[in-house]
Amino acid sequence: MPQNIVLSYELEFKSFQDWNGDHPSQTLVFHDNFSSWWIKVEIGYLKRRAIFQEFVKAIDFGQLDLIDDTVTRISLTLAEQSHKPIPIRNIRNDYQTEANFFLSIAHRVSFQIEEDPGRIIYPILGQDQDLPIFEASHLQDEKVIAPTVSIVRFKQKRFAYKKIDRPIYEAGDTQHILNEIDALAHFRGQPNIAQLIGLVISGNPYKTRPPTISVPVITGFLLEYYTEGCLEQVLAENTVQDDALLRRWALQTGRALEILHIQRRTHLDIKPSNIVFDADKNAILIDISGTGGYEWEWLSPEMQKIIQGNAAMAPASTPFDKRVATDCWAYGKLLLTMAKKIGTSSLGKRLQSIGDDLTKTDPKARISLSDALERIWGQE
C-alpha cells in the first residue's frame, strides 16, 4: 500500500466512527515533509462531527510524540484546568475559534498518547509461506462488491480480493482472515469450494518514512472470481426454472459441506449469499474460515440456546458435533428456501421433505447429511 509523499504539512482524513455521538474517533494520516504518521483522535462524547473535525485540523501534531510505524491513539478529555493542554496551531480566523466550542476551550483539553489497540493488524509474511504472492501495488482495482471484497485485475485477469482492511474492523478479524487462508489452502483443488489464488502483500501500511525497509505484511488474499452471482440473487429474482440445475446446486453445496466435515472443519455460515456460481453454473461454497461472522437465523435452535446462555461464546468455540449439527440444520433450511421458490414440482416436494427432516426440533430425529444427499441424488 504505497503512500503519497508530500513536501509539506498535510492532514489526510481517513475513516470517522461514532456510536450516536459516543466516543467519536477520526482516523487520519499526518504528513510532515517526507514522514507520515497514522493517528486516531478520540473524544468522550460529541454529537457534531463537523465541529470535531475542525478541532482535529487545528491540532499541532508536529509538537506531539507520535509513534512511528503504527497508529497513534490520541485520547482527548476536558478538564477544569489542564497542565498539559493539546497543542493548537495558530488560528487566523477569530470567528472560527469562537464558533467552535472546543477551539475556544482548547487550553482545557488534556490528551493521552498510546499505540492504538484497535488498529488493523497486518500479519507478517512468514518465510515458510509457499502460496503464490501478489504485490498489492500491482493490482488494479475495478469495483467493490462487499465491505471486505473488491474485484481487481492482474495481468488482464480478474480476481476477488478479500482484504483485512475494512470499514469496521474488530479484534479478531485478522485471525479470521488467517483462518480462512488456512482453510482455503487446505481445500485447494477440491470441487465446489472457493479456490485460493494467492496472498496479497505490501510493505507496512503504517510505515512512517518511505525509505525505511520493512518486512512484507499480508493485506489479504486473492480468490477466483465467480462471475454468475449468488444463490440469494437467483432465488430473489426467480430467474431459474430448470429443476435439474437447482438439484445440481443442492447436491454440490451439500457435497462441499461434506468435504469440510470429513476434514473435521465446519462452515457455520451456510446461507444463500455464501453460495456463488462459476461460469459453468456450478455452485461454489465461499467464506469457509469457520470462525468468521454468522447470522442468527441460520444457527440451529440448540446452537442459539448455547449462545444465549453464554454471550461470550462464539459458535466456532463449541464442540465439533454441535458445529456439524448447525451446518446440517442450516443446509436443511437452505433446501427449504429453495423448495419454497420451486413450488409444487416433484423436486420442490422432495427438497421440502428433506429440509423438514434436516431441521426437526429434536436433533436426534434429524437425518444425516449423507442421507440427505442420497435422497437428493435419487430424485429423477
How far is residue 159's CA from residue 150's CA, in Å, rounded to a whole number? 8
CB of 204 closer than 8 Å to CB of 125: no
Q: What tens digit of pLDDT does each residue of 262-295 get?
A: 999 999 999 999 999 999 999 999 999 998 889 9
For residue 192, how many other CB atoms are within 10 A of its CB? 21
- State residue 96's pLDDT score: 56
pLDDT at 97: 54
Pairing relation of β-strands 35-43 and 71-78?
parallel
For every residue of 41-74, which 3-state class applies, written as one string? EEECECCCHHHHHHHHHHECHHHCCCCCCCEEEE
Cβ–Cβ under 8 Å, residues 220 and 163: yes
Q: For 357-379, how does the pLDDT look when each residue is reduced to its tens digit (9 = 90+)?
A: 999 999 999 999 999 999 999 85
- Cα–Cα distance for residue pair 369/334, rounded to 1 Å: 13
pTM of the complete model? 0.86
Q: What is the pLDDT of residue 9?
A: 79
- The pLDDT assigned to 1 comes to 44
Q: Where are the domains of the chain?
A: 10-115, 133-224, 231-377
- The 10s digit of each residue's pLDDT in 96-124 is 555 677 788 888 889 999 999 999 999 99
Instruction: Give pLDDT, residue 95.
Output: 47
Short-list 279, 269, 285, 261, CA closest to 372: 261
Per-residue pLDDT of the chain (380 residues; tens, 9 = 90+): 445 444 467 999 999 988 766 778 999 999 998 899 999 999 877 767 888 888 899 999 999 999 999 999 999 988 887 788 899 987 655 545 556 777 888 888 899 999 999 999 999 998 777 899 999 999 999 899 988 999 999 999 999 999 999 888 988 899 999 999 999 999 999 999 999 999 999 999 999 987 667 789 999 999 999 999 999 999 988 766 688 899 999 999 999 999 999 999 999 999 999 999 999 999 999 999 998 889 999 999 999 999 999 988 999 999 999 999 999 999 999 999 999 988 878 899 999 999 999 999 999 999 999 999 999 998 54
Distance CA 52, CA 17 (A): 12
What per-residue confidence (pLDDT) applies to 94? Answer: 53
Give the residue among 362, 258, 366 at the shortest CA–CA distance from 302: 362
* Euclidean distance between CA atoms 68 and 71, whole angstroms: 8
What was the pLDDT predicted at 91? 66
**CA–CA dist 246, 231 (Å, integer):** 10
Q: Which fold has domain 133-224?
A: Phosphorylase Kinase; domain 1 (3.30.200)
pLDDT for position 241: 66
Report whether CATH 3.10.250.10 matches the domain 231-377. no
Q: What angle do CA 203, 148, 260 make, to 5 degrees?
A: 105
